[in-house]
């Protein structure tokens, strides 16, 4: 039987690769009996889905060259010169 620390590690690994059947069953059984690990695995899944959605929906702000120059000028005036 695996402990919570091992199950947390397996939850992360399961996001990246397919676990062996026995390991997967051990993890599922533990998640059925441990609310804390179940909650952790659920939150991990939500984070992965959110980050994946952010990756595929590139809604980043695109600035014009003029806007970038204004920002750079404003930032450079905020920092003391180190000459």
What residue spans define the domains of the chain?
Answer: 1-56
> What is d(CA 19, CA 81) in angstroms, rounded to the nearest whole number?
54
pLDDT above 70: residue 60:
no
- The first and second tokens of residue 56, run together, are 């595929």
pLDDT above 90: residue 36:
yes
pLDDT above 60: residue 40:
yes
Task: Give the pLDDT band (50/70/90) at residue 18.
Answer: very high
Residue with tokens 């695995």, as numbered in its chain = 41
> What is d(CA 37, CA 33) in angstroms, rounded to the nearest whole number?
9
């Amino acid at each position: 039987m695996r402990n919570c620390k091992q199950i947390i590690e397996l939850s992360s690994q399961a996001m990246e690769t397919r676990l062996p059947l026995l390991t997967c069953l051990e993890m599922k059984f533990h998640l059925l009996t441990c609310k804390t690990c179940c909650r952790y695995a659920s939150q991990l899944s939500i984070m992965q889905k959110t980050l994946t959605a952010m990756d595929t929906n590139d809604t980043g702000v695109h600035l014009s060259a003029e806007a970038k120059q204004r920002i750079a000028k404003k930032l450079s005036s905020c920092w003391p010169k180190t000459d």
